[in-house]
A and B are shown apart, each in its own frame.
Chain A
Amino acid sequence: MTDRHPGFSTLAVHAGAQPDPTTGARATPIYQTTSFVFNDADHAASLFGLQAFGNIYTRIGNPTNAVLEERVAALEGGTAALAVASGHAAQVVVFQQLLMPGDEIIAARKLYGGSINQFTHAFKSFGWNVAWADSDDIASFERAVTPHTKAIFIESIANPSGSITDIEAIAAVARKAGVPLIVDNTLATPYLIRPIDHGADIVVHSLTKFLGGHGNSLGGIIVDAGTFDWSKDNKYPMLSDPRPEYHGIKLQETFGNFAFAIACRVLGLRDLGPALSPFNAFMILTGIETLPLRMQKHCENAKAVAEFLAGHPKVAAVNYAGLAGDKYNNLARKYAPKGAGAVFTFSLKDGYDAGVNLVSNLKLFSHLANVGDTRSLVIHPASTTHSQLDDAAKVKSGAAPDVVRLSIGIEDKEDLIADLEQALTA
């Protein structure tokens, strides 16, 4: 008998969770505790020495968080995952395992503005350098490779532009350079795109967005694909060299194809400290149970709204990869056949001021700095999320001054269209 592979929706509900051994509770309990008792001194020593699996202290691991970790690992097709306090925390923890001062990453220019800030400012202060490349020009990634390059970072669906990245082409560049490809899959979620199937070695998420899905909890996660050989040419000493604090254990040798997730936990989370609260893990887990249903509705609504806007006389352009004729429509058909996500931008014929007016006239859309909520959201990136960039960089990252970003929720699409119609004509 061969193994049955359960479908995505089954995994979204069940993976990682099991009725509680003590009480039989069917929903995952919130283990709101800082620490866990040891059975005896030998057990404690084994746990601290990474010789046994188990719980020590919630900064390093927690049973509620572990259910979330296994669930997202299963949905992404990874070997293991580590949940952390936010999407940004996930990125810092990932790069801390890979980079030493003087090392370099190549990042796509089309990224969430906060990530551009993080890489440009915080990473610079750690001595980590960023070379920017253009996702629409794969050769620009190849040209950016140097002997110091340690990783390539892209978004599967870019925020705010909603453009689709050719993951396989960039994975080929990463393979040739001998470095891991890291994909921020926040806007797609594994329901729409599974980057590991296309060659990603590490996937990160802001769980704050569609995975949690209800705009109530911050969180982030790192998924290890188990595909990268960290010991091959000594470029990643955190994984290949003996760890002094663990009596000389080598992480890849000991943990094999989930060594990266373990490194993020026992080195990154242990030392940097951005642990996810078990309560947030519970909220996000509950959100994930309905991820397939919500994403279908998000995408269906987004397409209807994009089509409406594309036909509106006051609208100059709509950038939604799900529209036939969009620049990214072919990539959307290849990578995200179930839908091109629910975050996209459009611009108005009357420019910046019209955009500002539209935002203030909307009654159902909420004006705020987030995406991936059940509620529909609107923002003007140039004056908010991407305001730290200069005008040229704004245009390159998909946040030109006349651009408005929408994150389409799961309300009735007729009501969303009516709200936009009244705001455009007000």
Chain B
Amino acid sequence: MNHDAYDDNYIRAILNSVKSIAMVGASPVNVRPSYFAFKYLAQRGYDMIPVNPGHVGKSLLGKPFVASLGDIDRPIDMIDIFRNSSHIMPVVDEALKLSPLPKVIWMQLGARDDAAAEKAEAAGMKVVMNRCPKIEYGRLSSEISWMGVNSRTLSSKRAPIPTQGMRLSLNRMSVGGGETAASDRAAKNKSEP
């Protein structure tokens, strides 16, 4: 697996299939990138779980912090690691002990550990490194185009009408093809304003 560049379809399939995301290193400080990403993904309907031993007893946007992955009471689809490259391996080792096994290990922008990635892939997990799920979601839904970002997708279909804090659809027939519907599903599960 090449981790220098990812196909849109690979990323889209991940963002479209996962429902619960444990964010390791989530910060309650509202100017940290992890806080932005946590809030953004929660607003798009993902079941977010903040993992940070330093903040147990507090909660992040109403979700209680847990100390470690082992403390989570429900199956986790994806682990989003907001830690430096040097702290990735222990998280992957911990993830490998979970049952059921998470489907995806995602390392944040700036974080990369190829050995940890190989280990996770050998166990059947998908891996994304050095990317931000908020940015990728924004890009593949074209929401991020409002900031002049190259979404690398095209569509001749009418854009979905934004509802509830710009929750847009990932459902663009992009240059890579592959329809997706994670946020549509999320929108359906939430009551409309």
Contact = CB atoms under 8 A, between A and B. Distances in A.
A237 interface: no
A53 B166 contact: yes
Nearest to A25: B158
A261 B132 contact: no
Nearest to B31: A247
Contacts of A18: 142, 155-159, 172
A309 interface: no
B147 interface: yes
A253 B149 CA distance: 16
B148 A81 contact: yes
B26 to A, nearest CB: 14
B145 A49 contact: no
A55 B146 contact: yes
A52 B154 contact: no
Contact of B147 (A10, A42, A80): A80
B146 A74 contact: no
A49 B161 contact: no
Given A3-B8, A74-B150, A74-B152, A22 B135 contact: no
Interface in A11-67: 11, 14-16, 18-22, 24, 39-40, 42-43, 46, 49-55, 61, 63, 65-67
A63 B165 contact: no
A1 B40 contact: no
A258 interface: yes
What bracket does the count of chain A residues touching chain B fall in?
A: 35 or more
B20 interface: no
B111 to A, nearest CB: 11
Contacts of A262: 147
Nearest to A82: B148
Contacts of B178: 1
B110 interface: yes
Tell me the dominant secondary structure on chain B's binding face: loop
B146 A53 contact: yes
Contacts of B33: 253-254
Chain B interface residue number, banded: 35 or more
A19 B157 contact: yes
Interface in B117-134: 132
Nearest to B158: A19
Candidate in A16, A18, A83 with the most chain B CB atoms within 10 angstroms = A18
Nearest to B141: A53
Given A2-B9, A54-B166, A79 B149 contact: yes
B159 A5 contact: no
Contacts of B162: 21
B177 A4 contact: yes
Contacts of B156: 14, 18-19
A3 B175 contact: yes
Contact of B158 (A3, A21, A40, A258): A21
A6 B154 contact: yes
A10 B154 contact: yes
A118 to B, nearest CB: 23
A20 B135 CA distance: 23
B75 interface: no
A21 B150 contact: no
Contacts of A402: none
Given A70-B149, A70-B150, A19 B165 contact: no
A67 B150 CA distance: 10
A256 interface: yes
Interface string B87-121: 00000000000000000000001100000000000
A126 interface: no
A254 B36 contact: yes
A383 B132 CA distance: 53
Interface string A205-231: 000000000000000000000000000
Given A40-B165, A73-B149, A80-B149, 12 more contacts: A3-B176, A14-B156, A15-B154, A18-B142, A39-B166, A43-B166, A51-B30, A53-B166, A63-B146, A66-B145, A80-B150, A81-B148
5 contacts: A3-B177, A18-B158, A43-B165, A43-B166, A53-B138
